[in-house]
Structure 1
Amino acid sequence: MASLPAEIVEQFICHLNEDPDRLKTLLSCSLVSQTWCAITRPFLYSRLALDFDENRTSLADVISASSHLRTYVHHLLITSAAPIVSALGDLPSLRSLQIRSSRGQSLTVNREFARNLWSLLSSRHLTSLELSDLDTFPARIFYHCLALQNLAIRHVTFEFPTSNSDQNEELVTSQLKERPVLKSLILSTQYREGSDTLHWLLGPLSPFDFSQLETFIGLDRCDLDRSYEAHCTFISHVAHSLKTVLIDPPTSSLTEDIQDPLGALEPKNLQKISSITVSVIQEPGDALSTLPFLIALLSGLPNPETLHEITLLCDLYEHAFRGFDFHSQGWKELDSLLLGFPNLKRVHLKCYDESDDQIAATLVSWFYDQLPRLVSRDILVIDYFPDLTYTKSMQQQLMG
């Protein structure tokens, strides 16, 4: 085996690199011979996970001591705010960076840790960044991400730059002349953090250019009108370039006697849309849902042929306690309307917060009765989950 041509060995290692248990396999391959070790090493160090809360610092020491190993690192996961990150030095080939709490709780980012991140974020190859469960994260760091294209923010509280901050405004102005063009934004929020973040992203000191944004996955867990309105404003701002969008109106905004902010979204601006996801509010015994909005939105699209997929997120939480009691308003109208979309490949119903198999079976039967045309076209897919998983699966597809 060790005498195989290097080109064949490299193809073999490249195939193994896609295996879920890649690390153990690659370590074994690196022990075959010096040739195998040299070929395996770039794959072995291409994806690193540093968890300082578990005192796993030896890997960071190895990377910091070898300049050529640092060039192999393409994907890096950091799961604590440890100052030792500075020991890594520059990672010139870094493409994606994940920073999150290892304990599932909000992690406070101190100034030293934030300062140590600057060299990583300023990499000209860094195109994907994911931030999860972080507190007091300095938003000014984004001014260093000049190559960023994909951004995922999940439950992050930012420190935003203000006119009274000690930030060098001249530096900010110069940085804004070379803003990265963001292609995808995934934003999962709690409380009021989402509205503040989106307000800042659309403001005069925004670090990003959204003129070519193709994907906006905005999952709003706030149940607050202010945050929901911020999501709607953002969608309207980037509608002309969107290809994929998730709209998640909170129940509170729809049940109160107020004007739905999404009503201001003009379908004619969605020139390129190919995938639409809408959270459908379905309360037992209540005729309230977002279906009327969805129908109005689909009816006004300027290019029906561009739409390939529709996903509806149905919350079944109340049905688990009260028994199945779905209403039918709007579903048959939707079924007829979708006949006018010639390239529609899939209508996906994702139902969550339901663990009762009997209710789930009733649900499938009910939908098949309401949507016979979609059933006959064989494009209706129904799934149900114990909890909402859509944004995580979308993030894996988008961020790699």
Structure 2
Amino acid sequence: MLPELVEYILDFLHDFDDRGTLLSCSLVSRAWVQSSQKCLFSNIVLRNSPFWHLRYPGVTGILSHRLNSLLNGTPHIARYIRALRIENSGFGTSCWLNSEPSFPQLLSKLSNLRNLALYAIRWEDLSEDRQQPLRALLASPTLSSVRLHRCSTFFQFLALISMAPNLKRLSLARASSYFEPEPDLPDDHRTLSKPATLDVLALYETILPENFTSAVSQYLDITRLHTLIFLDNDTYVSAAPLLALLGQTGTLQRLELGDIPEPTDFDLRLIPSLRQLSFVGVQMGEGQLSTAHLIQFLSGIPQAEDICIEVEIYSAWPEGIHWDVWAKLDDLSEWNHLRNITFDVCVYWSESLVPCAPDSPVAMNELANLKAIFPRLSGNGILRVNLISALSPNSYM
């Protein structure tokens, strides 16, 4: 079989997280081993369960322990690990990280890491021999993306992250109550390297403190952001100073929102460079979404050229979906500055229906019904409608 075809098949299985089949493929022949291992080990999660010590006595971090043992025997697998997620299962303690001997050894082997995610970890709770390999990992030249989820001592992490020379994306999740005063860092720490230049900043359930823009500028260069992501209402009001700053820099082109903000709280006229606007995970039901509210919000952003609305729909079949709730959006055809309007639709059918593929007759019929309520948008060629999935709720259980 052609190597390109092997790669295509394995990438397809990897996209659907079919680890069982990938494992079987790794045992088929030598030609499949390397590509299968790349997919199997590309994304690693290290966590601990309070019940695992019953099965593995004396081992506090069994996943770290087993992976480190594997890499000792097959060191080439370390270069396949591109994403690492470290989770602390407790609140206010990082005990398994401190007590598992293999943890620092494992981190020192990850020389090709691209993405690092830290969950519920307090920097001051880590012993020095645990901080050192994490510090080295954060300063790795290959690291391009970091996510901090419910991590306290935020500015302490930020000062360390600033040393990542090629960091391009930073995600903060549920950091609202964890912003502490800026750390009193030695002068030599602040001058070790120039701040990393971010391309993407993502905020989830995070209220920015008043000093965010001034404090963060000491560690990260956010004046060249091209993408900003807000996925909850809590962030909108506190982000106003950030919008004003990005409006002055003139680099921000793409904004991704999880809901429709109030124009008074979120004035996008401050960002004349904005061109692409996306609404992600909008749940649509009859009367659930005010299209008038959406149109009012969009009317205040005449610089936006590309609008994308990702819709989640929960519906019973065969009653069908009430697409007409969106009909008012056909008025957007009168806005000459718009170049593209895209609907990405994810349908969750009732439990009575067997899951259907996006290209099934039922799904295609619903897609045609959606397009039919936008005759003017369809007529001028700027409308795009994609059915990204059509699944039963049971498929996620």
| TM-score band, normalised by shorter chain | 0.5 to 0.7
Compared CA separation, residues 352 and 233, structure 1 to 2 (3 A): farther
User: Quick one: which amino acid aligns to residue 221 of structure 2?
Assistant: D
Offset of residue 210 of structure 1: 1.6
Partner of 1:238: 246
- Among 21, 46, 51, which residue is 1:50 paired with? 46
Tell me if 1:347 matches 2:350. Answer: no
Cα deviation, 1:313-365, whole Å, max 9, x if unaligned, reads 56879xxxxx979777963431221x5445x3x421557899699xx999978
Deviates more, 1:239-248 or 1:118-127: 239-248
- Among 174, 178, 182, which residue is 1:155 paired with? 174
Compared CA separation, residues 217 and 138, structure 1 to 2 (3 A): closer
1: CA distance, partners of 2:211 / 2:244? 16
Compared CA separation, residues 326 and 50, structure 1 to 2 (3 A): same
Tell me if 1:94 matches 2:91. Answer: no
Partner of 2:199: 183
Q: Percent identity?
A: 16
Partner of 2:157: 141
2: CA distance, partners of 1:41 / 1:285? 45
2: CA distance, partners of 1:172 / 1:63? 33
Compared CA separation, residues 364 and 13, structure 1 to 2 (3 A): closer
Partner of 1:373: 376
- Among 184, 198, 215, which residue is 1:204 paired with? 215
Compared CA separation, residues 384 and 124, structure 1 to 2 (3 A): closer
The count of residues paired between Structure 1 and Structure 2 equals 335
Cα deviation, 1:259-287, whole Å, max 9, x if unaligned, reads 713336235333xx2x3114789856978
Compared CA separation, residues 356 and 241, structure 1 to 2 (3 A): farther
TM-score, structure 2 normalization:
0.64
Cα deviation, 1:127-169, whole Å, max 9, x if unaligned, reads 122334x342543223233221122333345744525x5x324
Offset of residue 126 of structure 1: 0.5
Partner of 2:207: 195
Tell me if 1:296 matches 2:313. Answer: no
* SS state at 1:261 partner: coil
Tell me if 1:60 matches 2:77. Answer: no
Compared CA separation, residues 92 and 310, structure 1 to 2 (3 A): same
2: CA distance, partners of 1:41 / 1:142? 33
User: Quick one: which amino acid aligns to residue 48 of structure 1?
Assistant: I
Offset of residue 173 of structure 1: 2.9
Partner of 1:397: none
Is the CA contact 2:227–2:253 (under 8 Å) kept in the aligned structure 1? yes
1: CA distance, partners of 2:8 / 2:312? 40
Offset of residue 125 of structure 1: 0.9
Cα deviation, 1:154-204, whole Å, max 9, x if unaligned, reads 3345744525x5x324245325x5111111122221xxxx2226x554223
Cα deviation, 1:40-77, whole Å, max 9, x if unaligned, reads 87776554333333532211234368876645543323
1: CA distance, partners of 2:35 / 2:324? 58
Tell me if 1:170 matches 2:181. Answer: no
Partner of 2:329: 331
Partner of 1:266: 270
Partner of 2:126: 112
Partner of 2:356: none
Partner of 1:129: 146
Compared CA separation, residues 99 and 363, structure 1 to 2 (3 A): same
User: Quick one: which amino acid aligns to residue 308 of structure 2?
Assistant: T
* SS state at 1:290 partner: helix
Partner of 1:390: none
User: Quick one: which amino acid aligns to residue 59 of structure 1?
Assistant: L
Compared CA separation, residues 373 and 232, structure 1 to 2 (3 A): farther
Compared CA separation, residues 385 and 285, structure 1 to 2 (3 A): same
Partner of 1:304: none
